[in-house]
Chains A and B, each alone.
Chain A
């Protein structure tokens, strides 16, 4: 009863507040009716074949902002995610999960297992299309990686953790995959600078297309396919870093609680 009363108060408050704002209580119209100047600039410069020294060469405005105009922001976002994973790993330090080869009897019923076998393939395909087409259509590395991480999660819950580990997705393998992803992001950030050093011409870190004072840059096209210079590589490596990072956490959370307590007790007795 008290819960219902609280709900009623909240709904009434929001409705009245929205009414005040909608009738011009702030002194101006919300949402604004025209495209703002900054957004217009971004839309013009995202893909601009007529101004080749000031464009990201990607028709997707969000990806060009995220990995080109505001590339450093995204790099540090990736680092925050990296630190979160490191924190979780340090909580589970020293905990070794046992190996099991007999895994057929574990997990849910054969019906669920068969459905999961089909959907896992579909999820991976969708994730790859989101990440690798991130510079052309909505999506990108983080989106694709988060979608790809759902597939090992389904396998972990439906088949069991030991099945996932027998597939080769063990903790150290995933950590190596994630490190390769992060290394790739770092290498891509420095790629234009390395090309510039070899060609003896000025270049910037995080440079994508040629700039007026730095004529080197990464090719926007490979053959007839648009790859938007660095954007495709950033999305590709980010997908691996994010998907492997999430899967490591699931593997650690999937260790049965009894096993962890047993190992911790053994460790305490040793000291």
Chain B
């Protein structure tokens, strides 16, 4: 039988790897709206990692800022400029 702490660490590693993939996709994405969505996915995974690292204080500030406020501000700014990144 596998220990519970090993399973938690494994899930954390999986989240961390997925967040790196989301970050890479956000950087290379041409469409700025899609890039914001990838960035929000990365933030959600970070929030889950913070929760598993037993840092609930950080989770409580990370969820509203990274999933609510930050994408909203960036989307408002994108609306004022262009939707696509130029070559």
Contacts and interface: CB of A to CB of B under 8 A. Distances in A.
Nearest 4 pairs between A and B by C-beta? A138-B56, A143-B60, A143-B61, A146-B64
A227 interface: no
Interface string A1-33: 001001100110011001000000000000000
A101 to B, nearest CB: 24
B15 to A, nearest CB: 13
Given A10-B21, A11-B17, A146-B61, 17 more contacts: A3-B25, A7-B21, A7-B25, A10-B24, A14-B20, A15-B17, A138-B59, A139-B60, A140-B57, A150-B68, A150-B69, A153-B72, A249-B73, A250-B72, A253-B73, A253-B77, A257-B80
SS class of chain B's interface: helix, strand, loop or mixed?
helix
A146 B65 contact: yes
Interface of B: 13, 17, 20-21, 24-25, 28, 56-57, 59-61, 64-65, 68-69, 72-73, 76-77, 80
B69 A149 contact: yes
Contacts of A18: 13
A62 interface: yes
A138 B57 CA distance: 5
A67 interface: no
B33 to A, nearest CB: 15
Interface residues of A, number: 28
Contacts of B73: 249-250, 253
Residue from B20, B28, B57, B80 having most chain A Cβ neighbours under 10 A = B57
A254 B80 CA distance: 10
A125 interface: no
A157 interface: yes
A130 B72 CA distance: 22
A16 B68 CA distance: 34
11 contacts: A7-B25, A10-B21, A11-B20, A138-B56, A138-B59, A139-B56, A140-B57, A142-B61, A143-B57, A147-B64, A150-B68
